[in-house]
Structure 1
Amino acid sequence: MPFSPILHTVAETIQAALAPVFLLAGLGAILNVMVGRLARIVDRSRQLEALHLRSIGPERERHIEELRLIDGRIGMINNAVYLVVMAAVAICLVVAMLFVAELGNFQIGQVIAVTFIVSMLLLTGGLLCFLIEIHMSVRAIRVRSELLEPQKP
């Protein structure tokens, strides 16, 4: 039994939308990693806040410095999450526009292409923010030089 024209069109559109849908699955995995990282950063900030209240002198200054770095990391990972979510929204729009264009016989191929390009730019921005946050975290976990120097008698 041959496909009806509308069913055939829907089947072709689903095939065209398959790649962006797989991209959405990948974005979900990336977001899962980012949100997990954010949760760990928040946990560390809470630990430091408790230590900060009980510390004095150089230890207190060290806690303040790390808290400032953590605050920057939280902002950066929030930016990363925001940009990747916006990329996912743009991909959803691409999928929806593919169906609207095909079923309504609209000539919006350029709009769809531009939306896809915007989604890739948003994803790139999100990944760059994530990379910057990772770099910031490496700075935070370095062992202090005074701990590496041999103890003097």
Structure 2
Amino acid sequence: MAIDSPASAYNVAQIIQLAVAPVFLFAGIGAFLNVCTGRLSRIVDRARDVEPLLLASRGSEHERWLNELRVLDRRMVLVSRAIFLAVLAAVLTCAVVVLLFAATLTNDKFGTEIAVLFIVSMLSIGAAFAVFLIETRVGSRAVRIRSELLAHEADPDA
């Protein structure tokens, strides 16, 4: 097989070199997904803890638990969207790697398609980060200490 044939070891090595950069992106996406799934798990656990408290409560306490459940539900939606967008970015990056190999092995010109897929992949992971940022802001705003607790003083007679 000649050195300039599409399937030569030299060309395959060049393709692998080109494909390594997008593959490193998978490690970052995987770490991000790990953070998102851990956060989603904690949100779901908290929602499961709050549900019986809501059902057993009345009045202002009921409203407080209901508001917390609403915030938890919103956070679950946001983290799920971030996970979807991150996985989409990983799938698109896989398509980039596949097209890099296919273009070289078949001598086809997929440059535009590869560039577009990579751009969409970057937009997707960027959107995932933005949605995650929104979720962290929603979560941090929800964790406020009630003013009546901050003003509470211990009973000196107790």
Q: What range is the shorter-chain TM-score in?
A: over 0.9
Please give the residue correspondences for 1:4-23 in structure 2 after superposition, counting only pairs within 5 Å: 5=5, 6-23=8-25
Q: Distance in 1 between matches of 2:59 and 2:148?
A: 15
Distance 1:62 1:23 in 2: 42
Correspondences of 1:43-122 after superposition (within 5 Å):
43-122=45-124
Give a deviation string over 1:61-120, Cα, whole Å, max 9, x none.
100000001110011111110011000000000000000001111111111011000000
Residue-by-residue CA offset, 1:123-146 (whole Å, 9 max, x unaligned): 011110100000010011111112
Q: Show structure 1 runs of 5+ residues with no match.
A: none
- Percent identity at matched positions? 50
Taking structure 1 as the reference length, the TM-score comes to 0.94
Between the aligned partners of 2:4 and 2:112, the Cα distance in structure 1 is 28
Number of residues of Structure 1 aligned to a counterpart in Structure 2: 152
RMSD of aligned residue pairs (Cα, Å) = 1.7
Deviation at 1:4, TM superposition (A): 8.1
The normalised TM-score by structure 2 is 0.91
> 3-state SS of the aligned residue for 1:33?
helix
- Would you identify which runs of 4 or more consecutive aligned residues in structure 1 move more than 2 Å? 2-5
Q: Identify the range of structure 1 (3-12 vs 38-47) with the bigger mean alpha-carbon deviation.
A: 3-12
Counterpart of 1:141 (choices 140, 143, 153) is: 143
Structure with greater helix percent: 1
CA distance in 1, matches of 2:99, 2:4: 22
The residue type equivalent to 1:122 in the other structure is S
